[in-house]
């Protein structure tokens, strides 16, 4: 039995992880961590979870916690990941593992000194749609010519995915672009040799760019074109168009269609059609099997280095 604490449990993605963990055998959620005592205690009672706290350190000190899933504000990720590792706990940290290359390197360096599972929540590696593409690319059936990506939200105030006020500020580059940069490198097996980034005006109150354009090119000429916006009043989310040498495919989270919008059967790709459940399964199985997971801190560090190069291009 792997006993897990979830920090940020009552947030939008914390609840997604809790729902996913409930479907995995050999897992028990023994503790949840939240912002306020009243809300997290009530949340734990509703979810029938024995322990709740506002202090991550309190959860880490418990003998009935083997591992932690961090679904907390971005700015806390690096320090909290290190805190978990130094407490002897396996950790899955939602993306990004940090909002700077220096902090990402700190996490990797601390993790390298342990025998623990340390993993960044790069869920695009696990969505069945992207797994299908990865399998075909690995078999040599497809080669990417361009990955064209749109990441669009309507977020002009500091609200989360549930429409509740956030205690922190989201970021197009260090959060949302992180998904695509890691996925592009994972699917091509290459580190971009050329990068560019452009951004629109900063929000007068939030202090972040509301629109951004990113371009990547690999040494063999594969392209990634990424458009991001918090100003889009329309269909929300991230949509990936794989333009390949042998067909075009459009991935929308866990679903996939071809270039003519004909559905692709993904029923045999994985044991679930839910990317969050699949990444949580990888985390649990890596702990059980004592191996490095797909999406370990070390494996995803190169993507963080590319984000740093893009940040420098914006300076």
Q: For position 202, which CATH number holds?
A: 3.30.360.10
pLDDT band at 48 (very low <50, low <70, confident <90, very high): very high
The residue behind tokens 């009672």 is 45
- What's the CA gap between 124 and 239, in Å, rounded? 11
Q: Both 101 and 37 in a single domain?
A: yes
- Supply the pLDDT for residue 205: 86
Could you tell me how far CA 215 lies from the centroid of its own chain?
A: 20
Residue 46 has a CB neighbour count (10 Å cut-off) of: 9
For residue 10, is pLDDT > 90?
yes
| Two structure tokens written together for 70 | 């961090």
- Supply the pLDDT for residue 315: 80
State yes or no: cis peptide before 99, omega within 30 of 0.
no
Q: Both 115 and 209 in a single domain?
A: no
Q: Both 242 and 280 in a single domain?
A: no
Q: Both 136 and 166 in a single domain?
A: yes
- Supply the pLDDT for residue 159: 65
Overall domain count for the chain = 2
Q: Both 310 and 192 in a single domain?
A: yes
pLDDT band at 171 (very low <50, low <70, confident <90, very high): confident
The chain-wide mean pLDDT, for the chain, equals: 95
Q: Both 288 and 261 in a single domain?
A: no
- Supply the pLDDT for residue 161: 61
Average pLDDT over residues 122-141: 98
Paired sense of beta strands 90-94 and 144-152, if any:
unpaired
Q: Both 230 and 99 in a single domain?
A: no
The predicted-structure confidence for 221-235, as pLDDT tens digits, reads as follows 999 999 999 999 988
- What's the CA gap between 208 and 200, in Å, rounded? 9
Q: Both 66 and 78 in a single domain?
A: yes
Q: Both 111 and 216 in a single domain?
A: no
For residue 169, is pLDDT > 80?
no
Average pLDDT over residues 168-177: 86
Q: For position 113, which CATH number holds?
A: 3.40.50.720
The predicted-structure confidence for 292-314, as pLDDT tens digits, reads as follows 999 999 999 999 999 999 999 99
Q: Both 235 and 224 in a single domain?
A: yes
- What's the CA gap between 171 and 74, in Å, rounded? 9
Q: Both 147 and 117 in a single domain?
A: no
Q: Which domain holds residue 183?
A: 125-273+303-314
| Two structure tokens written together for 50 | 């024995």
Sheet containing 2-7: which strands, arranged edge to edge? 51-53, 27-33, 2-7, 67-70, 90-94, 118-121
């Amino acid at each position: 039995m792997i006993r897990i604490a979830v920090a940020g449990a009552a947030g939008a993605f914390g609840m997604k992880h809790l729902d996913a963990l409930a479907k995995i055998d050999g897992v028990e959620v023994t503790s949840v961590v939240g912002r306020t005592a009243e809300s997290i205690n009530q949340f734990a009672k509703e979810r029938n979870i024995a322990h709740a706290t506002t202090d991550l350190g309190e959860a880490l000190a418990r003998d009935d916690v083997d591992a932690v899933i961090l679904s907390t504000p971005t700015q806390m990720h690096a320090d909290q990941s290190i805190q978990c590792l130094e407490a002897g706990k396996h950790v899955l940290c939602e993306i990004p593992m940090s909002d700077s290359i220096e902090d990402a390197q700190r996490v990797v360096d601390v993790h390298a000194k342990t025998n623990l599972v340390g993993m960044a929540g790069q869920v695009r590696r696990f969505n069945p749609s992207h797994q299908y593409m990865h399998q075909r690319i690995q078999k040599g059936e497809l080669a990417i010519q361009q990955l064209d990506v749109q990441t669009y939200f309507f977020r002009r105030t500091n609200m989360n995915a549930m429409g509740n006020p956030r205690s922190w500020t989201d970021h197009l580059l260090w959060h949302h672009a992180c998904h695509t940069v890691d996925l592009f490198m994972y699917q091509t097996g290459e580190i971009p040799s050329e990068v560019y980034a452009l951004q629109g005006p900063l929000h007068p109150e939030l202090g972040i760019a509301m629109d951004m354009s990113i371009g990547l090119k690999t040494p063999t000429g594969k392209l990634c074109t990424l458009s991001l916006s918090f100003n889009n009043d329309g269909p929300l989310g991230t949509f990936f168009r794989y333009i390949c040498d042998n067909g075009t495919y459009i991935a929308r989270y866990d679903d996939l269609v071809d270039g003519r919008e004909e559905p692709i059967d993904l029923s045999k790709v994985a044991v679930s059609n839910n990317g969050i459940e699949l990444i949580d399964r990888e985390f649990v199985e890596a702990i059980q099997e004592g191996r490095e997971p797909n999406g370990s801190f070390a494996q995803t560090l190169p993507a963080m280095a590319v984000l740093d190069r893009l940040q420098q291009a914006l300076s």
